[in-house]
């Protein structure tokens, strides 16, 4: 007998930065498990491609192209997408890598514009989105908020991501407090801290090769690894997990 253990049917999910990478994996897994999914990305064509794949497989999704760091676009586009699919009760805050990768640099040399971008994308945008969706989750008496974090939030490194890490750490702090404030309303809030993902750099680059070699499972993360964990946290049987940072990194100490 084979039947799907975890269902999120009847729920409406917003996944940010879901046009590729981990976000696309999350959107597809949530749709396979029955959720109606709002696929956000900066680039409309990326979001639309993921929506096409989901609908071709029999799922329900709409594309919502907007910049999560722009308050006006967020308000407008969330309202528009909710009109099409219903009220969001699952938020997966995944957008975190700016186009071009965010110019890693030792912090001493990092221009303010670059570190502000990391704070805006990886902390402020998350806070704003939570304030958009949380009141209606409280009203409904059910909700799931998942923040996609990184091992860099808890371990220092020399790879030029101090500002990114500061923002991810701030988000993990917010998650712990939101979890305690809102558990009483049937809402859980968790972080998934990813390790190195497939497709980052070239496997023959010395830094990437070294990072992959340090992963006990012998491979970087795949979109499906994160997608499956999100579905579990969102399902009824995942509802006792709250306020946690779960590392999905193959047991790697890169980022811990």
Half-sphere exposure of 77 (CA within 13 A, CB side): 23
Q: Which residues pair with 63 in a beta bridge?
A: 39
Cα–chain-centroid distance for residue 130? 13
C-alpha 32/C-alpha 101 separation (Å) is 29
Contact residues for 249 (Cβ-Cβ < 8 A; gap 6+): 151, 193, 194, 195, 196, 215, 221, 255, 256
Nearest approach, Cβ of residue 94 and ligand NAD (Å): 5
Among 35, 38, 51, 97, binds ligand NAD (CB under 6 A): 97
Q: Is 185 noted as a catalytic residue in this protein? A: no
Site string for ligand NAD, 139-178 (x = CB under 6 A): ---------x-x----------------------------
Nearest approach, Cβ of residue 83 and ligand NAD (Å): 20
C-alpha 93/C-alpha 178 separation (Å) is 14
Question: Measured from the CB atom, is 142 or 232 closer to ligand NAD?
Answer: 232
Half-sphere exposure of 121 (CA within 13 A, CB side): 25
- Using CB under 6 A as the binding rule, whether residue 21 contacts ligand NAD is answered as yes
Nearest approach, Cβ of residue 127 and ligand NAD (Å): 14
Of 26, 164, 195, 248, the catalytic one is 164
- Using CB under 6 A as the binding rule, whether residue 124 contacts ligand NAD is answered as no
The DSSP H or E segment spanning 150 is strand 143-150
- Return the closest-CA partner of residue 248 out of 194, 203, 173: 194
- Return the closest-CA partner of residue 10 out of 94, 93, 88: 88
Judged by CB under 6 A, how many residues of this single chain contact ligand NAD?
28
Question: Measured from the CB atom, is 96 or 250 closer to ligand NAD?
Answer: 96
Q: Among 48-56, 62-70, 130-138, 237-245, which window interacts with ligand NAD (CB under 6 A)? A: 62-70
Nearest approach, Cβ of residue 23 and ligand NAD (Å): 6
Q: Starting from the edge strand earliest in sequence, which strands make up the sheet with 143-150, in order?
A: 60-65, 36-41, 12-15, 90-93, 143-150, 187-194, 245-248
Site string for ligand NAD, 22-61 (x = CB under 6 A): xx----------------xxxx--x---------------
Instruction: Name residues contacting ligand NAD, limited to 190-229 (CB under 6 A).
Output: 194, 196-197, 200
Q: Which residues pair with 39 in a beta bridge?
A: 15, 63
Question: Measured from the CB atom, is 10 or 173 closer to ligand NAD?
Answer: 173
Residues forming the active site: 164
- What residues line the site for ligand NAD (CB under 6 A)? 16-17, 19-23, 40-43, 46, 67-69, 94-99, 121, 148, 150, 194, 196-197, 200
């Amino acid at each position: 007998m084979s039947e799907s253990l975890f269902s999120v049917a009847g729920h409406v999910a917003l996944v940010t930065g879901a046009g590729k990478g981990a976000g696309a994996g999350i959107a597809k897994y949530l749709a396979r498990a029955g959720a109606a999914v709002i696929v956000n990305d900066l680039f409309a064509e990326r979001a639309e491609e993921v929506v096409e794949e989901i609908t071709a497989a029999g799922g329900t999704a709409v594309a919502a192209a907007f910049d999560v760091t722009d308050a006006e676009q967020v308000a407008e586009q969330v309202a528009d997408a909710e009109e099409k699919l219903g009220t969001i009760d699952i938020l997966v805050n995944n957008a975190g890598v700016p186009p071009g990768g965010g110019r890693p640099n030792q912090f001493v040399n990092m221009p303010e514009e670059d570190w502000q971008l990391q704070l805006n994308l990886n902390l402020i945008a998350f806070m704003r989105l939570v304030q958009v969706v949380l009141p209606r989750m409280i009203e409904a008496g059910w909700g799931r908020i998942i923040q996609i974090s990184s091992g860099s939030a808890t371990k220092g490194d020399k790879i030029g991501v101090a500002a990114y890490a500061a923002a991810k750490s701030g988000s993990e702090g917010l998650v712990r407090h939101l979890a305690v404030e809102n558990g009483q309303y049937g809402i859980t809030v968790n972080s998934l801290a990813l390790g190195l993902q497939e497709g980052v750099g070239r496997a023959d680059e010395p830094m990437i090769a070294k990072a992959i070699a340090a992963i006990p499972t012998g491979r970087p993360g795949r979109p499906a690894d994160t997608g499956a964990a999100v579905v579990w946290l969102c399902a009824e049987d995942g509802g006792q997990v709250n306020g946690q940072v779960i590392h999905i990194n193959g047991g790697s100490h890169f980022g811990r």
